[in-house]
Structure 1
Amino acid sequence: MKDYIKWIRSKVGHETIILNFSGACITNERGEILLQKRSDKEELWGFPGGALEIGESIEEAMIREVKEETGLDVNVEYLIGVYSKYFSKYPNGDSAQSIVYFFKCNVASGDLVIDNKETFDLRFFDKNNIPKLFIQQHTDMLNDYLQDRKGVFK
């Protein structure tokens, strides 16, 4: 099913729901981390990724979302963790508990493509020069990656 969030919202309105997302920590050959300047959060930075659609695995969703948002095809190296106790209130009044399955990936092929719809900028950052991320969930994910943690459940 495409547009699952729109469909479920048509049933429950703005009530708090659980949403599942997959995200990627993509590094280049210099060990720099790819971040996306997002169009939905005051143009702040975060990791590429997005919501699962009905019928997708968490890996398939991450690969699809990364391709849509960055133009890159990626290889999954490992699962960094699952980040589940985070809540978001959206500008339109929607409320959700967000679960993110966060993968470490590398670039298989492709060139960075900025669509100006979901993505305003894409940039690889040195791990010692990361900008402020748009939510605590992404900050926690980054910190776990930087500490070389695997199998995190929060």
Structure 2
Amino acid sequence: MKKLLLGMLVLSSQLFAAECPPISGSFTCQQGSHISYKIITQTNDGYLINSDGIDFNYITDGKTYEVEATSNMKDGKVTSTCSSNKFIVGFKATILYEGSELAKQSSVTEYTPAGSGLMIVQKTKMKGIPLPAIKFNCTRD
């Protein structure tokens, strides 16, 4: 029974990882006049993304993980998955301003291969109101 369970876990993790897109590399991403630099490394269980010098580790198992509170945010939760050749990150948190609750934020960010580059689209809601989507076109360095 243990061998069957272990085999099923290994097979399901291999199948799950198989649907994640091959987006590893160094990228320069642009949205209007804003430029961002990203280094993406695909790991055994998801992605490690260095975005403008800050590391983020995403486990693409569809589970929700808590994010450590900061002076600007609390009750943060992140979920990441892969589907249809996209890496998808869901984020929810309470945004703080000078220690007081300002708004509830939720966002979905999709990373999609685009030729030799990458397209990143972030859709955000603040207080339940959709904000304009942010689209980054990323070229491989």
TM-score normalised to structure 1 length: 0.26
Q: From the CA coordinates, give the structure whose radius of gyration is larger.
A: 2
The structure with the greater share of residues assigned to strand is 2
**Higher helix proportion, which one?**
1
Higher RCO, Cα 8 Å, sep 6+: 1
